[in-house]
């Protein structure tokens, strides 16, 4: 632990305000302001004096003072569950790209998928006087903080959520995408399927996907898909996930609520000695780039989180300019074919009688704690 040699940096002047500029230029504050903002008349003479003074002093406006007087902070608040999830991170990056040119800055908060935390976060953002809000949260339809934003007249755009409570949302049609997966499964002859979810309770996206998946399965007269809710630990521990899968030996296809889960499923399947897609088909959701690069490229629903961010930003920008709230159509998704999806093995295709799988490798191990 090394301490830097203590040397005070010469601070020309901690803060140089427009007042300093005016004094140095020998003019009034108002004049300086007019010159620096090109917002009013000024003689060529004083104009150049002010500019020189500003230059010399290294003046730059305080966004704070400006915000206070204009009651526009030029700041947009953004709440996402977590930036550790690349889907949200990319969306935020999408926001940035749009907002970059506009003078708006992003004030970011994350809730870690916690419904209480995200209300607090929004309240804090509002206190910071953000001009607008872009939000992905646990329960936008019941959020007191979001209601407060509305009361305060702060424009709000959602991301990822299906539109709710009159709030425009940049999203994909999760239900439709899930139905598409169900159709693919059905067309290939899969009957025993499951939906694998993480944080089902706190993600309406996940719930909407399941709903769509379930609806289409029923429409086709297939058995209801099993809903598997994973804990964080299970999702991150292939051995645990393998145990969970082993308990459901008659599944022939799994729809994972995101690509990471889908890849984890493949790992777990390997641990069990199952082969993908021969013994188990897997389809993911999101379409992360890495899925294409895998040995067995992942079949998935491809979405574009960055586009979601861009659309949300554009929507909010329009709101900020006084536009009426407009719900754009959902962003497109596409089914990305991949080698993880194939028809079930012939001996397992029959309706209700399924041939037993060979005993799983895992079940022979004893060193794995049950739990």
Partner DNA sequence: TTGTATGCGTTATCAC
Partner DNA sequence: GTGATAACGCATACAA
Segment 193 to 252, residues that bind a copy of itself, using CB under 8 A: 236, 238
C-beta closer to a copy of itself: residue 270 or 357: 270
Q: Which stretch binds a copy of itself (CB under 8 A): 183-191, 221-229, 246-254, 290-298?
A: 290-298
For the segment 97-116, give every residue that binds DNA (CB under 7 A).
none
C-beta closer to DNA: residue 126 or 282: 126
DSSP string of 123-189, one letter each residue:
HHHHHTT-SEEEE--S-GGG-HHHHHHHHTT--EEEESSPPBTTB-EE-B-HHHHHHHHHHHHHHHT
C-beta closer to a copy of itself: residue 11 or 366: 11
Say if residue 182 is preceded by a cis peptide, omega within 30 of 0. no
157 binds DNA (CB under 7 A): no
19 binds DNA (CB under 7 A): yes
For the segment 52-111, give every residue that binds a copy of itself (CB under 8 A).
58, 60-65, 67-68, 71, 73, 75, 82-84, 86, 89-90, 92-93, 96-97, 105-110
Which of a copy of itself, DNA, none does residue 358 bind to, with CB < 5 to 8 Å depending on kind?
none
For the segment 160-179, give every residue that binds a copy of itself (CB under 8 A).
166, 168
Binds DNA (CB under 7 A): choice among 30, 144, 147, 337? 30
C-beta closer to DNA: residue 8 or 15: 15
Contact criterion met (CB below 8 Å) for 311 and 331: yes
C-beta closer to DNA: residue 74 or 89: 74
291-296 LR contacts (CB < 8 Å, sep 24+): 291/259, 291/262, 291/263, 291/336, 291/338, 292/336, 294/263, 296/266, 296/338, 296/339, 296/340
> Six-digit token pair at 293?
């690069």
Pairing verdict, β 299-302 and 334-336 = antiparallel
Query: Rounded distance, CA 356 to CA 347, Å?
Result: 9
Binds a copy of itself (CB under 8 A): choice among 51, 124, 244, 363? 124
260 binds a copy of itself (CB under 8 A): yes
CA distances from 169 to 166, 310, 311, 328 (A): 9, 12, 9, 8
283 binds a copy of itself (CB under 8 A): no
DSSP-derived 3-state class of residue 28? coil
DSSP string of 270-281, one letter each residue:
HHHT--TTTT-E
64 binds DNA (CB under 7 A): yes
CA distances from 364 to 240, 242, 249 (A): 14, 12, 15
C-beta closer to a copy of itself: residue 72 or 345: 72
14 binds a copy of itself (CB under 8 A): yes
31 binds DNA (CB under 7 A): yes
**194 φ, ψ to 5°?**
-140, 155
Binds DNA (CB under 7 A): choice among 52, 55, 56, 65? 65
343 binds a copy of itself (CB under 8 A): no
Q: Which residues bind DNA (CB under 7 A)?
A: 15, 17-19, 26-31, 33-34, 36-37, 39-43, 45-47, 59-62, 64-66, 68-71
């Amino acid at each position: 632990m090394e301490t830097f040699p203590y040397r005070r940096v010469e601070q020309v002047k901690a803060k140089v305000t427009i007042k300093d500029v005016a004094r140095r230029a020998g003019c009034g504050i108002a004049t300086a302001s007019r010159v620096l903002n090109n917002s009013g008349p000024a003689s060529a003479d004083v104009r150049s004096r002010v500019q020189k003074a500003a230059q010399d002093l290294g003046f730059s406006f305080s966004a704070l003072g400006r915000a206070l007087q204009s009651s526009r902070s030029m700041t947009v608040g953004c709440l996402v569950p977590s930036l550790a999830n690349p889907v949200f991170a990319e969306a935020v990056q999408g926001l940035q790209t749009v907002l970059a040119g506009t003078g708006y800055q992003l004030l970011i908060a994350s809730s870690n998928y916690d419904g209480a935390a995200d209300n607090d976060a929004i309240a804090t953002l509002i206190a910071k006087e953000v001009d607008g809000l872009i939000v992905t949260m646990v329960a936008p339809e019941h959020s007191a903080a979001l209601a407060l934003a509305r009361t305060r007249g702060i424009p709000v755009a959602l991301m990822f959520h299906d539109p709710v409570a009159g709030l425009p949302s940049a999203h994909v049609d999760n239900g439709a995408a899930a139905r598409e997966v169900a159709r693919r499964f059905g067309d290939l002859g899969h009957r025993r399927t499951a939906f694998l979810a993480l944080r089902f309770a706190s993600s309406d996206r996940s719930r909407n996907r399941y709903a769509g998946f379930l609806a289409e399965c029923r429409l086709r007269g297939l058995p209801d898909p099993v809903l598997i809710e994973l804990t964080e630990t299970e999702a991150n521990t292939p051995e645990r996930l393998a145990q969970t899968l082993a308990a459901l030996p008659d599944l022939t296809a799994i729809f994972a609520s995101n690509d990471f889960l889908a890849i984890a499923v493949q790992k777990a399947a390997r641990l069990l000695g199952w082969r993908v897609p021969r013994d188990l088909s897997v389809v993911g959701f999101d379409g992360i780039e890495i899925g294409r690069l895998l040995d067995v490229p992942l079949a998935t629903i491809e979405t574009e989180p960055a586009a979601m961010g861009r659309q949300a930003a554009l929507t909010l920008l329009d709101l900020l300019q006084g536009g009426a709230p407009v719900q754009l159509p959902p962003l497109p998704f596409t089914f990305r074919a991949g080698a993880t999806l194939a028809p079930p093995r012939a001996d397992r295709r029959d309706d209700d009688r399924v041939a037993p799988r060979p005993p799983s490798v895992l079940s022979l191990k004893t060193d794995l704690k049950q739990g």
